[in-house]
């Protein structure tokens, strides 16, 4: 196991790592242990009582956080015709069709964070499934990245839209802002995200849905949040 740095070890002494805190206290503690010299990203990790191996227990969606994430995302839109202009006017960083597909295939080009496509272009985009899928870049209707309304989709991403989904361990990992946001804005982002995840509870989910909630800065230790406030 990797040895933790001195700052990390000192931060752990500031609180009880096993304590389940309310949201406000957990965020304040997280900010206290975020001692790196840069503006650390604050992340939320939610372990759910579902089995992601079953299609009817998938938890996936997207939400525009009230205060964004503090990071500007580069957006690629795969579309044609009038939709190209719509995407450009909305602030897309790259817009194209076959040319962009070819660029990804031949140049292994991935200078973008989000890929949005109109439904008519998914036949083309589908060819890139093997390279886009592992990177989490494959467009999906559930996350709003396969849509005829490309202008709105681009604007939402630029405004701070984030996608959440389970990993193989049934955990959602997602940024909710930067340390510089302060406790109030981080709490509003966290609450909005938790409400979306709770609302997305699959009908097939049995037993306790919210197993654990942890908030953590980029370089610091995690702080546990009592799931009872959000329990369903």
Q: What is the pLDDT of residue 142?
A: 84
pLDDT digits (tens, 9 = 90+) for 75-105: 999 999 999 999 999 999 999 999 999 999 9
What integer best gives the mean pLDDT of the chain? 92
What confidence tens digit (pLDDT) does each residue in 109-158 have? Answer: 999 999 999 999 999 999 999 999 999 899 999 889 999 999 999 999 99
Q: Is pLDDT above 50 for 1?
A: no
Q: What's the mean pLDDT in 12-24? A: 86
Q: Is 130 exposed, middle or buried (0-12, 13-18, 19+ CB in 10 A)?
A: exposed
């Amino acid at each position: 196991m990797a040895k933790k740095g001195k700052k990390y070890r000192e931060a752990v002494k500031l609180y009880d790592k096993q304590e389940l805190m309310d949201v406000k206290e957990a965020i304040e503690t997280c900010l206290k242990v975020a001692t790196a010299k840069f503006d650390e990203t604050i992340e939320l990790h939610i372990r759910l009582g579902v089995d992601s191996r079953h299609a009817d227990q998938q938890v996936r969606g997207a939400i525009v956080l009230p205060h964004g994430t503090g990071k500007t995302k580069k957006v690629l839109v795969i579309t044609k015709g009038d939709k190209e202009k719509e995407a450009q006017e909305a602030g897309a960083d790259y817009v194209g069709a076959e040319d962009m597909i070819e660029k990804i295939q031949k140049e292994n080009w991935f200078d973008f964070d989000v890929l949005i496509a109109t439904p008519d272009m998914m036949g083309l985009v589908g060819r890139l499934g093997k390279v886009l899928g592992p990177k989490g870049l494959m467009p999906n209707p559930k996350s709003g990245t396969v849509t005829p309304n490309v202008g709105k989709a681009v604007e939402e991403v630029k405004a701070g839209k984030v996608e959440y989904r389970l990993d193989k361990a049934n955990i959602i990992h997602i940024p909710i802002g930067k340390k510089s946001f302060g406790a109030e804005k981080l709490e509003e982002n966290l609450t909005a995200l938790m409400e979306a995840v709770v609302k997305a509870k699959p009908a097939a989910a049995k037993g306790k849905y919210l197993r654990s909630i942890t908030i953590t800065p980029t370089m610091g230790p995690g702080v546990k949040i009592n799931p009872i406030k959000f329990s369903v």
